C-alpha cells in the first residue's frame, strides 16, 4: 500500500519532509562513525520443444548506466541489516540482500549509510541462497529458491522496490545476468559430484516472465550436449551480448584453463584457449568470470604454482575474441583476492588482510598499500564505482558472524575505511 492511499496530499508532503530529514540525520550520524586508519607501512523445458523467443543481436554490455533514480523512495528504513550481498550502481545508490528477521531486499540512496526496506510483500523467508541482479537504480530482480532448490520464484521491480511483480521459474538459483530490461540469462546448477557438475542454461526475452531452456549437459536427460562438458565445477557466467558469453570453472588438470564461449546465445559452446608461457602447462588454474566494459574485458586468473598461489589478469580489447596476458610477468602477479573493477582502467584486489592492491592501467601493474582493516577470512564482497571529480568509492562487506550480524565499510582509497554497519 502506498502513501497516497493512507494520507491526503498535505499529509504526504509533511511525511516525506520528515522522512527526508530523518534520513539526512541518520546518514550524518553514521558518516561520523568509526574511521579506521592504516598502519604506517607503505519449466525445465527440453530445448526445441518451445518456440524460441526472439533475441536482439546487439545489447549494451558491462555495467549499465544508472537511470534517474525514483526519489525519494516510499520505503521504510531498516535498521542494522545483516547484509549478505550488495550491488552499488554509483557512489549513492545500491541494492542488497539482508538475512535478519526473515530476510529483506534492501536499497540505499546515501552510499550505504542507511538502508531502506524494499522487500516484496508476502514473500516469506529470504535466505543466503537468494540471487540478486541489478540493472540500474530502479530495475532489479531477486530470485528466491523453492524448497527443492530446482524451482523458485523470480521477483522484479522497475520503480526502485516500491512495487514488485513475481512469477514461478524452473530454477532455484544460479548465475543470473540481465543485459537490459528484457534480455536475461541464467546458468543453473543441476547437480554436482566427483569433480563434475551438470548445468542448464535458460534465456528470457520478456524481463523474466517466461524462460526457455537452451542447453543442458545432464546425460540422464534427453537432448543433453557435451559442448559445455559435464566435467568441471562451474563458477561463473558472463554474457557480452545476447549471443556471446562465457562460462568459467575449475578442473584438476594441468595446463587447462576452464573457459568456454558461446556465439549462439548458449545453445553450443567451445573451449577457448588462453596463451600460456613456456613451462606454465605444468600448473593448474582457476579463472573467474570475465568482466566487460564495452569491448574491453578482464579475465581474473588464479595460478597454482609449485610453492605459492598467484593472481593475474588477462585482457581483451576485441570483445573476447582474443585474450592477452603473461602469468610469468611478476609485475602482473599479485596475491589472490577478490577483484573489483570500476572501469576499463581502474581495478582493485583484496583478500581482507593487510595488503591492498590497486591498478591504474587496466590490471597490467599493481600498487600495494597497507590497511588496518582486518577482514581476513571474512571478506565477502569488494565493490568500487566511479565518483565525481575522478574519484572512486569502494565498499567491503564482511560475512555474517556468529551473532548474526555483518559489517559494511566504505573507502575512497582502500587504506582508510569508514564503518557503516558496525
What is the mean pLDDT for each group of 10 consecutive residues in the chain (422 residues)?
38 38 38 35 35 33 44 82 97 97 96 96 92 97 94 97 96 97 97 93 98 97 97 97 97 96 98 94 97 98 95 97 95 96 98 97 96 95 96 97 95 95 89
By the 8 A CB rule, do 291 and 71 touch?
no
Q: How far apart are CA 386 and CA 146, in angstroms?
A: 37
Task: Tell me how crowded residue 283 is: count the other CB atoms within 10 A of its CB.
Answer: 15
Predicted local confidence at residue 392, as pLDDT: 98
The alpha-carbon radius of gyration of the chain (Å, integer) is 22
Could you report the per-residue pLDDT of 87-145, keeping only the tens digit for each?
999 999 999 999 999 999 999 999 999 999 999 998 989 999 999 999 999 999 999 99
Q: What is the DSSP string of 249-294?
A: EE-S-TT---EEEESSTTSS-EE-PPP--TTGGGSEEEEPPPEEET
Q: What is the pLDDT of residue 283?
A: 96
pLDDT given for residue 202 in this prediction: 98
334: which strand partners?
A: 311
Closest CA to 197 of 226, 177, 239: 226
Where do the domains of the chain lie, and which CATH numbers do they carry?
A: 3-421 (2.130.10.10)
Smallest CA-to-CA distance from 244 within 225, 277, 267 is with: 267
Q: Is 57 exposed, middle or buried (0-12, 13-18, 19+ CB in 10 A)?
A: exposed
The Cα–Cα gap between 159 and 60 comes to 21
Q: What is the pLDDT of residue 254?
A: 95
Q: Is 324 left (phi over 0), alpha (psi -120 to 50) or beta?
A: beta
Nearest CA-CA partner of 305 in 288, 323, 273, 330: 330
For residues 225 and 401, what is the distance between their CA atoms, to the nearest angstrom? Answer: 42
pLDDT score at 422: 85
Residue 84, all three cell numbers = 549478505
Amino acid at each position: 500500500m502506498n502513501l497516497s492511499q493512507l494520507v491526503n496530499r498535505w499529509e504526504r508532503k509533511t511525511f516525506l519532509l520528515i522522512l527526508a530529514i530523518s534520513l539526512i540525520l541518520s546518514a550524518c550520524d553514521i558518516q561520523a562513525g568509526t574511521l579506521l586508519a592504516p598502519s604506517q607501512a607503505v519449466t525445465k523445458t527440453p530445448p526445441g520443444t518451445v518456440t524460441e523467443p526472439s533475441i536482439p543481436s546487439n545489447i549494451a554490455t558491462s555495467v549499465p548506466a544508472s537511470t534517474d533514480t525514483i526519489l525519494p523512495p516510499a520505503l521504510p528504513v531498516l535498521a542494522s541489516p545483516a547484509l549478505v550481498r550488495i550491488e552499488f550502481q554509483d557512489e549513492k545508490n545500491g541494492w542488497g540482500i539482508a538475512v535478519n528477521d526473515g530476510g529483506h531486499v534492501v536499497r540505499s540512496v546515501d552510499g550505504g549509510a542507511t538502508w531502506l526496506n524494499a522487500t516484496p510483500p508476502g514473500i516469506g523467508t529470504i535466505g543466503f541462497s537468494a540471487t540478486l541482479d541489478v540493472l540500474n537504480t530502479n530495475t532489479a530482480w531477486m530470485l528466491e529458491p523453492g524448497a527443492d532448490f530446482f524451482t523458485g520464484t523470480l521477483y522484479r521491480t522497475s520503480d526502485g522496490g516500491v512495487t514488485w511483480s513475481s512469477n514461478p521459474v524452473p530454477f532455484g538459483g544460479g548465475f543470473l545476468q540481465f543485459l537490459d530490461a528484457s534480455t536475461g540469462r541464467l546458468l543453473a546448477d543441476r547437480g554436482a559430484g566427483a569433480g563434475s557438475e551438470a548445468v542448464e542454461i535458460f534465456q528470457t526475452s520478456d524481463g523474466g516472465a517466461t524462460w526457455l531452456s537452451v542447453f543442458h549437459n545432464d546425460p540422464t536427460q534427453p537432448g543433453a550436449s557435451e559442448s559445455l562438458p559435464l566435467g568441471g565445477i562451474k563458477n561463473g557466467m558472463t554474457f557480452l551480448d545476447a549471443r556471446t558469453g562465457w562460462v568459467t570453472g575449475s578442473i584438476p588438470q594441468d595446463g587447462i584453463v576452464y573457459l568456454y564461449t558461446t556465439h549462439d546465445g548458449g545453445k553450443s559452446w567451445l573451449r577457448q584457449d588462453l596463451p600460456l608461457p613456456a613451462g606454465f602447462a605444468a600448473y593448474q588454474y582457476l579463472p573467474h568470470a570475465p568482466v566487460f566494459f564495452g569491448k574491453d574485458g578482464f579475465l581474473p586468473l588464479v595460478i597454482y604454482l609449485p610453492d605459492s598461489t598467484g593472481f593475474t589478469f588477462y585482457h581483451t580489447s576485441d570483445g573476447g575474441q582474443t585474450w592477452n596476458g603473461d602469468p610469468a610477468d611478476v609485475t602482473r602477479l599479485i596475491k589472490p583476492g577478490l577483484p573489483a573493477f570500476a572501469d576499463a582502467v581502474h581495478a582493485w584486489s583484496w583478500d581482507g588482510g593487510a595488503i591492498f592492491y590497486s591498478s591504474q592501467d587496466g590490471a597490467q601493474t599493481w600498487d600495494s598499500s597497507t590497511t588496518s582493516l582486518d577482514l581476513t577470512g571474512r571478506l565477502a564482497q569488494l565493490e568500487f564505482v566511479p565518483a565525481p571529480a575522478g574519484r572512486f568509492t569502494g565498499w567491503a562487506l564482511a560475512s555474517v558472524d556468529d551473532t548474526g550480524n555483518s559489517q559494511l565499510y566504505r573507502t575512497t582509497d582502500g587504506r582508510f575505511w569508514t564503518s557503516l554497519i558496525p
